Amino acid sequence: MEEKKSQPLKIILYISAWVIVWGTLGSFIDYPLYKNHIYQEGSIYQYLTFTITAGITILAANFFYKKIPL
Q: Please give the Cα distance from 39 to 14 (Å, whole number).
A: 32
So what's the pLDDT on residue 70? 74
- Domain membership of residue 1 (yes or no) is no
pLDDT at residue 3 in the model: 61
DSSP for 18-30? HHHHHHHHHHHHH
What was the pLDDT predicted at 2? Answer: 57
**The domain containing residue 55 runs over which residues?**
8-67
User: For the chain, which residues score pLDDT lower than 70?
Assistant: 1-6
Q: Report the pLDDT value the prediction gives residue 29, as an integer from 0 to 100.
A: 96
- Give the total number of structural domains in the chain: 1
Whether residue 58 is contained in a domain is answered as: yes
* Contact yes or no for 54/22 (Cβ under 8 A): yes
Cα–Cα distances (Å) from 63 to 37, 38, 60, 66, 68, in that order, read 35, 32, 5, 6, 9
